[in-house]
Amino acid sequence: MSLGGKADESARAKRGALRWSLYPVLLLFLIGVCLLAPASALAQTESDEFWSLWNDYLHRHMNDHEAWAEWVKQHAHPVALGGAGSESDDDFADLAPLASVLADRHIVMLGESSHGVREYNLAKVRLVKFLHQELGFDVLVFESSWADTYAVTLEAGALSAREMLERSLHPMWHTEEVLALFEYVKETQGTENPLQLAGIDMQPFDAFSNFVTAWLSAVDPMRGGAWRGLEGRYKQAVYALDYPWEELPTRVALWTLGYQELARFVLQNREELTKARPDVPGLAEIVLRAIAERIRVLDEFVGAKALVLSPANLFLPLHSLQNYPYVRDRIMADNLAWLAEEVYPGKKIIVWAHNYHIRKQNSSVQDDPLFMGLPTPTLGELLPDTLRARAYSLGLYMYSGSHADNNRVVQQIAAEHAPDSLEAIFAHAGYDVAFIDFKHQVPEVGNTWMFTERKALYAGPYEETLIPRTQYDGVLWFRRVQPPRYLERP
């Protein structure tokens, strides 16, 4: 329905708004009675009539599906997907509503309820281009290894877009849609406004390990070999689910000593190492930071994995600090803060990550499958307050179709949705892709759904309970989705 609507629809909407505007007055009156009345009078209000009025108010005000549908129709904005050859790739007129809410933001976090959705990829690639071209965002940060992404950017001139993609991102993003983004990143490098590529994760690939091996070996081949050996063991410990966990404390102690020895070597031979790569100023500091992170990961992340996964322990974490996924988010938050405050101060940053990483208050989400149901803060909640105040979190949700899990196995999305679920409420918009801003809304009858608890899907089959506006500043909703078009493996 258009914003103007027909004359009779407009009149009906005005009558409805007037009718429902009386309910906040009733609410204030009832609260005033409770707070100001003497005890004896208060006792009299606790009658069947009082609670009948109160429950009627709550029911009509908080669960008016008709009002919700009308509000969504009037406040949702259609968004084009984009893609190869699409006219919308060069025309961002439909994104004007996002421009108005993102213009003063310095960090925009683009989420996704699943990593395996073609439509998410297409929309996010287009959003990245829009943010870069129209709103002056300079840095694109992925939920991927910061160290490996750093190494890839150093060698970008000698790499194809596909090589850059495959060496810096997890395989679930090795898709045709994301490859188009990397081609765009490469194209911008020769312009006055290059889009910088970065990462925030601590989970390693091989690009950084290979780069540092060559760097150290140029001065001392034995040190290069020591680094390569440590990196292989480190990578195994980070990713392994089946591991001789009882041997881990002894191994971690030895690996930590090995990394500390390499750090001393870098410090003591900084001048000679700098001569080996004079084209990369500050390389020694980057390697020292990576070593410090590896020691931290072995202690906190791998140590927590051993507690949870060791058959001998049979340990279930009692709070988030004992849960290794939390450690990962804690480190990612620290890395994003480092990028924003030290590496790219004053730059506008785009973050590409899962919904649960970008949420503003994940610790209040119930039934979170990743964190075993524990109230666990994640990246968006763990950022320094100064960065949180400058950020906008955009969650992405899907209504029907299918998606792929991280192993590329296709999963069907739940065929039916509860009428008060986030997915079902957005369906009233009538668009294939719809955006609604949450950040600038105040409670009214038609939008109480975003201020109250409701179900939303984590990927396809898993339900979570959350308050939408508490978690996101806005949501982009997709009526029907499909798995990505994965690049053929060589």
pLDDT in tens, 350-391: 999 999 999 999 999 988 776 667 788 999 999 999 999 999
Contact in structure between 395 and 355 (CB atoms under 8 Å): yes
Mean pLDDT of 236-241: 93
- Domain ranges (residues) in the chain: 7-62, 77-201+331-481, 207-322
According to the model, what pLDDT value does residue 318 have?
67
d(CA 359, CA 378): 7
Contact in structure between 257 and 226 (CB atoms under 8 Å): no
Task: Write the pLDDT tens digit of every residue in 292-301.
Answer: 999 999 999 9
What percent of the chain shows pLDDT beyond 90?
Answer: 72
CATH 3.40.1660.10 at 77-201+331-481, yes or no: yes
Mean per-residue pLDDT over the chain, rounded: 88
Q: Specify the range with the lowest mean pLDDT, choosing from 43-57, 187-201, 248-262.
A: 43-57
According to the model, what pLDDT value does residue 58 have?
52
Kindly list the distances between the CA atom of residue 42 and the CA atoms of 26, 163, 427, in Å, as whole numbers in the listed order.
Answer: 16, 72, 43
Mean pLDDT of 309-315: 70
Contact in structure between 196 and 138 (CB atoms under 8 Å): yes
d(CA 341, CA 387): 9
According to the model, what pLDDT value does residue 313 have?
66
Mean pLDDT of 188-202: 96
* Residue 12 clears pLDDT 60, i.e. is over it: no
Of 117, 124, 126, 119, which is closest to residue 87 (Cα–Cα)? 126
d(CA 456, CA 397): 8
d(CA 40, CA 57): 24
DSSP 3-state of 77: strand
Q: What are phi and psi of 169, to 5 degrees?
A: -120, 155
d(CA 488, CA 166): 12
DSSP 3-state of 346: coil
According to the model, what pLDDT value does residue 2 have?
38
Reported as a pLDDT band with limits 50, 70 and 90, residue 80 is: very high
pTM value is 0.87
* Residue 10 clears pLDDT 90, i.e. is over it: no
According to the model, what pLDDT value does residue 47 have?
60
Task: Write the pLDDT tens digit of every residue in 120-132.
Answer: 999 999 999 999 9
H or E element that contains 403: strand 391-404
* Residue 192 clears pLDDT 50, i.e. is over it: yes
DSSP 3-state of 196: strand
Mean pLDDT of 162-170: 97
Range 281-319 burial, b when 16+ CB lie within 10 A, else e = eebbebbebbbebbbbbbebbbbbbbebeeeeeeeebee
d(CA 195, CA 189): 7
Mean pLDDT of 410-426: 94
* Residue 179 clears pLDDT 90, i.e. is over it: yes
Which ranges of 240-323 does DSSP label H, i.e. alpha helix?
A: 248-268, 270-276, 283-296, 302-309
What percent of the chain shows pLDDT beyond 70?
Answer: 83
